[in-house]
Amino acid sequence: MENDSSLSALQEVNRVTVVGLVVNLVLTTLKFVAGLTGQSQAVVADAVHSLSDSATDIVVLVGARFWGKPADADHPYGHRKVESFATAFIGLALGAVGLGLGYNAIVTMHEQHRSPPSLMALGAAVLSIVVKEWLYRWTIRAGKRTRSSAVIANAWHHRSDALSSIPVAVAVGTSFLLPGWSFLDHVATVAVALFILQATWTIMATPLHDLLERGAEEEVIRDIDTRVRSLPGVRDLHKIRSRSVSSALFIDLHVHVDSHLNIEQGHVIAGQVKTALLAADLGIVDVLVHIEPYSPPPPDAAPSSPSSG
């Protein structure tokens, strides 16, 4: 069942990413042509942004073939950290593009345009806004369904492209109507760079937390505590520890059962705990349950609370 689910998720990741790759390549070509022929540095910069989207689409397509592989003897916890590295690469590539575009726009700010940007450049910017916003919405839904941080990062890459095209369209339209304001084309390019850097900051947060194996959110820990305590045979639990590996959570916890139970009965309860948590929609892929004998707390003892690590 888990392999079937992983295969289905991998297929959805591939499908949405291939469509994104094709769209990005078409938009890149259109914006390069429109920017060069339409005398707009900002639209050319926007084309470079779309080209960087294409590069990250390829990273996701290649990376998904690795992080979707099942665990093996050399990688008993699977290959999910490949996704974290792929997400980090997307963020770094996006940041490098933003810095390069911003620097070039600033150092050429004093240059005068021989002619104002044309309507072709404006049309390319408007088309980019519409198409990339649609692509963002479709990709982000797929990323959330598959719990893929790389796909979600790629979706934000699409959104940053859509948002960055807005000041481009405004600047190009203004420069077309008011040729003396052609410097706005450079200003819009700097705005594009700032949008890109903001998206980089958002994207990089997830892989950095994953590579540091951040624990689950407190809300998830409370959910785990509630679910386990509701199971028959569970008298108490503590030491709920978690670590994230890309979009997956690994959990281990100590469960207290009645001390008169034998090993087999304790093992059955541990299996029920594991099954319940794996079935919960919490992104948990593995659970390690430690069984301990239950000792009633002293009458004046404070009630136990869930703990995480």
pLDDT at 15 over 60: yes
231 vs 305, more confident = 231
Between β-strands 236-245 and 248-257, what pairing exists: parallel, antiparallel or unpaired? antiparallel
- Strand pairing class (284-293; 236-245): unpaired
pLDDT of 128-169, one tens digit each? 889 989 989 988 988 888 777 778 877 887 887 787 777 778
pLDDT tens, position by position, 223-246 = 888 889 988 888 888 888 888 776
- C-alpha closest to that of 77 among 89, 69, 65: 69
DSSP 255: E
Do residues 38 and 118 lie in contact, with contact meaning Cβ atoms separated by under 8 Å? Answer: yes
Total residue count of the chain as it appears in this document = 309
CB 288 within 8 A of CB 251: yes
Among 50-64, 92-106, 149-163, 250-264, the minimum mean pLDDT is found in 50-64
In one letter, which amino acid is 301?
A
Map out the domains of the chain with their CATH numbers: 2-211 (1.20.1510.10), 218-293 (3.30.70.1350)
pLDDT, residue 263, reads: 87
